[in-house]
């Protein structure tokens, strides 16, 4: 991996990025990688300060990490289940840095419960955060992107969006999560077709299994899956490449992170 540093003259010089779910894990890594290439980054999540959540990580920590390395970042606490918070997030990002060039919809959640026992409140929350919020945030940033004929939207999906293969193994509690991610992918390709002539790229990328603080907190990282773990740098690099590619040719893609980087001939950079 290349040396970790912020390059103010990098691929994203002068661009403004919003990254949701950026208090820890994949979102934090994405925010750091975009900042390394010169982007001004607005990071958002519900966990503003360390200790606000049982899981390690915070918006303040992510923003401080970027600033210490010489980058620019602003932390904006927002609950993406609330439409008003989504509107405020974009308004505050624009007030801080200017019109949004890059939107990364990374925020997500899951309840590991099978369909017969999945309550309506939880169902609506998952749909709101992982389907409605990316839709609404795209609506909020698209007018400026179309006016300036420049924009990149990257949606973070999951291998759970695919259909379970037979013979079935009775995987516990992934049906609703997979349904949300499948909807996100279909939204991505549809929107990509709508805004292609406007100079706006819309893509999806999925990581493999990443040892994030959230995964570890819920006991999902164990000896049985350790051989599948992927460094967080891989998904961060993949997002950078999709957020800096030519919107005329690199749009409407549904990619996995590692194969995408291999096809592009790019190695993931170390993070600040």
Active site residues: 177
Q: Which ranges of the chain would DSSP assign to H, the alpha helix?
A: 25-36, 59-68, 83-97, 120-127, 133-148, 175-195, 213-217, 232-242, 257-264
Instruction: Give the integer Cα–Cα distance in Å for 38 and 32.
Output: 10
Instruction: Give the integer Cα–Cα distance in Å for 51 and 31.
Output: 21
Q: Name the 3-class secondary structure at 61.
A: helix
What's the Cα-to-Cα distance from 82 to each of 28, 79, 124, 133, rounded to whole Å?
22, 6, 12, 9
Nearest alpha carbon to residue 152 among 192, 201, 206, 196: 201
Instruction: Give the integer Cα–Cα distance in Å for 249 and 245.
Output: 8
What is the 8-class DSSP label of residue 99?
A: S
Length, in residues, of the chain = 272
């Amino acid at each position: 991996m290349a040396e970790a540093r912020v390059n103010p003259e990098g691929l994203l010089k002068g661009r403004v990025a919003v990254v949701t779910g950026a208090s820890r894990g994949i979102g934090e890594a994405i925010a750091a990688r975009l900042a390394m290439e010169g982007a001004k980054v607005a990071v958002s999540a519900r966990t503003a300060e360390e200790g606000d959540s049982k899981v390690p990580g915070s918006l303040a920590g992510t923003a401080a990490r970027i600033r210490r390395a010489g980058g620019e970042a602003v932390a904006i606490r927002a609950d993406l289940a609330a439409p008003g918070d989504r509107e405020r997030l974009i308004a505050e990002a624009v007030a801080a840095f200017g019109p949004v060039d890059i939107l990364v919809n990374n925020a997500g959640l899951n309840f590991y419960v099978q369909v017969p026992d999945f309550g309506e409140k939880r169902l609506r929350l998952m749909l709101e955060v992982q389907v409605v919020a990316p839709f609404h945030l795209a609506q909020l940033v698209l007018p400026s992107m179309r006016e300036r004929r420049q924009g990149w939207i990257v949606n973070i999906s999951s291998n759970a969006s695919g259909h379970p293969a037979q013979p079935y193994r009775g995987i516990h509690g992934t049906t609703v999560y997979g349904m949300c991610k499948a909807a996100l992918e279909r939204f991505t390709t549809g929107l990509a077709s709508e805004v292609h002539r406007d100079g706006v790229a819309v893509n999806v990328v999925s990581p493999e299994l990443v040892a994030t603080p959230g995964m570890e907190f819920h006991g999902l990282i164990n000896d049985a899956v350790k051989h599948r773990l992927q460094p967080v740098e891989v998904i961060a690099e993949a997002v950078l490449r999709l957020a800096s590619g030519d919107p005329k040719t690199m749009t409407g893609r549904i990619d996995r992170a590692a194969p995408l980087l291999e096809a592009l001939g790019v190695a993931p950079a170390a993070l600040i």
